[in-house]
């Protein structure tokens, strides 16, 4: 098994849900797995306490006890691009620190799942302009790409794959998230796969996160295409 990134074509495409699903899927196979969100933004306040959605979801659904200090390096209150959210708090993201943390985590776990922030060209630093894609390239890890099935996904997905391949980043597969089964969505999926016949998984549009996690745990073949299994998706 190898370590990898989960990246998206945009923000709010389901990277955290897919990261959590993959974490549980691999943990269920007996592997020691840790998700890692290098940078997260947008603190949520609820019932008088603040938390961050991404790392909270990892901890809620993990089948193994997670070490909090291994889940994240930078958390910023403002829901904004990482470089700007950091500026608002008088900080700057140290990309070398992120890469070192990824290396250290790889030595401690069977699988480390690094979750990106936004799309590939989201800047982590300014004015030098180091992007998420630069961090991915430097990490030398492959990616699982999460995308929508709705209108606009063909352009966004093909552009993202072209950007990854132009930087020689290996794409393990695509997760199509939020499928409702419409004819347009099915054509969107097939059109993308005609351009790039990659391994893929399709996640149905369900009502809430708990339903999604139940779906992932009961459909054991959901992600097998992404990891060189022979069984097809149910």
Sheet strands (E) in the chain: 4-8, 33-41, 43-46, 49-52, 72-76, 111-115, 143-148, 171-179, 200-204
pLDDT at position 232: 32
* Distance separating alpha carbons of residues 118 and 11, to the nearest angstrom: 4
Six token digits for residue 5: 């990134």
Find out whether 191 and 155 touch, Cβ atoms under 8 Å. no
Q: What is the mean pLDDT of each run of 10 residues along the chain (234 residues)?
A: 92 93 90 97 92 95 95 97 96 96 97 96 89 97 96 97 98 92 96 94 79 65 58 31
- Segments in the chain forming alpha helices (H): 15-27, 53-61, 82-88, 95-106, 132-139, 153-166, 183-195, 209-218
Reduced to 3 DSSP states, what percent helix, strand and coil does the chain have, rounded to the nearest 5?
Answer: 40, 25, 35
Find out whether 216 and 204 touch, Cβ atoms under 8 Å. no
pLDDT at position 29: 87
pLDDT at position 230: 34
* Distance separating alpha carbons of residues 192 and 200, to the nearest angstrom: 11
37 in active site: yes
Beta bridge partners of 50: 45
Specify the pTM: 0.92
Six token digits for residue 207: 């009502």
Find out whether 72 and 37 touch, Cβ atoms under 8 Å. yes
* 37, 65, 140, 205: the active-site residue: 37
Find out whether 119 and 10 touch, Cβ atoms under 8 Å. yes
Distance, first Cα to last Cα, the chain: 23
What is residue 28's three-state secondary structure? coil
């Amino acid at each position: 098994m190898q370590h990898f990134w989960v990246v998206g074509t945009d923000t709010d495409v389901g990277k955290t849900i897919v990261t959590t699903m993959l974490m549980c899927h691999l943990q269920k196979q007996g592997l020691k797995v840790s998700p890692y969100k290098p940078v997260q933004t947008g603190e949520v306040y609820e019932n008088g306490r603040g938390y961050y959605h991404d790392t909270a979801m990892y901890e809620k659904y993990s089948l193994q006890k997670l070490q909090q200090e291994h889940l994240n390096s930078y958390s910023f209150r403002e829901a904004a691009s990482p470089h700007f959210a950091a500026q608002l708090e008088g900080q700057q993201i140290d990309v070398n620190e992120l890469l070192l943390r990824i290396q250290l985590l790889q030595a401690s776990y069977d699988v480390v799942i690094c979750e990106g922030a936004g799309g590939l060209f989201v800047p982590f630093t300014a004015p030098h302009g180091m992007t998420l894609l630069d961090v991915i390239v430097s990490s030398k890890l492959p990616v699982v790409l999460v995308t929508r099935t709705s209108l606009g996904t063909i352009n966004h997905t093909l552009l993202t794959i072209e950007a990854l391949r132009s930087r020689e980043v290996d794409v393990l597969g695509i997760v199509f998230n939020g499928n409702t089964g419409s004819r347009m969505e099915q054509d969107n999926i097939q059109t993308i796969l005609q351009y790039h016949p990659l391994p893929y998984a399709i996640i149905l549009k369900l009502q809430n996160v708990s339903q999604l996690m139940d779906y992932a745990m009961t459909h054991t073949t959901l992600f097998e295409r992404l990891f060189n299994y022979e069984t097809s998706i149910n």
